[in-house]
Every structure is written in C-alpha cells, then in structure tokens.
Amino acid sequence: MKIEDLQANARRASALLKAMCNERRLLILCYLSQGERSVGELEDLVGLSQSALSQHLARLRRDKLVRTRRSAQNIYYSLNGHEAQTIMGTLHGLYCQPSEPLADDAIEEAAESAAAPSTTGAETHARA
C-alpha cells in the first residue's frame, strides 16, 4: 500500500475515533447498533436534554456515523455504513458480553504495571 493511501486511511480512522471518543456519543452509537431509534427514544435511553442530544447527533451526522429518516414529525437515527457497524460490533464483543466480564482487578493491575517505570538489568545493577 502506498504511503499516501496509508495517510488517507489514518485520517479517516482518526476522524472516526474522535467522533466516538465521547462517552455519550459512544452510548448513542451502542443503542443505535441495536436498531433504529427515534430522537425521543434516544433522549430517554441516554438521559440527555434534547439540546445536548441534538449536539451529539449533529456531530455523529457530520462524521457520517449515523443517518436519519423522517416519518411525519419524528426523526429516526440508525448507524450509517460498514465502518460504524463493525466497530460497534467489536466494542460490544469486548465490553458488553455478560458471560466474560473483564475483571476489575486485572484491569487495575494492567494499568498499574503500564504506569510503573520499567527497570532494566543495568538499572537494577546500578542501584545495588
């Protein structure tokens, strides 16, 4: 693959991940991964005011993660495209499977070991 193609793909992936990195937008996408929802349903499910929800939905529309359908006075949202569906399916598999929840202790240990400074053999000998 050409470097230009890799750079373009990295930009697209970065934009997608930026749109999803907000907890509320991610929750909206989780509900939409289960099927089409009206604005009123999303309001109740996510627990946001209509104006706050509207701002999040506008961002998701702008980044082409959701699409809309109007029926009379109601607007319905659904996931838009293969990328959003695939990522939400992966996230659901990682974080929403009740049969194998992530152990809190294991997560904390991993975070602590990642934050702890590493010691190499040379550093260990220098301390002795």
For the question of whether the overall pTM of this predicted structure is more than 0.75, the answer is: no
Task: Give dist(CA 15, CA 53) in Å, integer.
Answer: 20
Q: Is residue 46 part of a domain?
A: yes
Give pLDDT tens digits for 56-88. 999 999 999 999 999 999 999 999 989 889 999
CATH at residue 30: 1.10.10.10
Q: Is residue 22 part of a domain?
A: yes
Residues constituting the chain:
128
Task: Give dist(CA 35, CA 30) in Å, integer.
Answer: 9
* Residue ranges of E strands in the chain: 37-38, 66-71, 74-79
User: Residue 94 sits in which domain range?
Assistant: 3-116
Per the structure, how many domains does the chain have? 1
Q: Is residue 64 part of a domain?
A: yes
The four Cα atoms 44, 16, 86, 42 give a dihedral, to 10 degrees, of 10
Q: Is residue 65 part of a domain?
A: yes
Q: Is residue 88 part of a domain?
A: yes
Most confident of 49-53, 104-108, 111-115, 123-127: 49-53
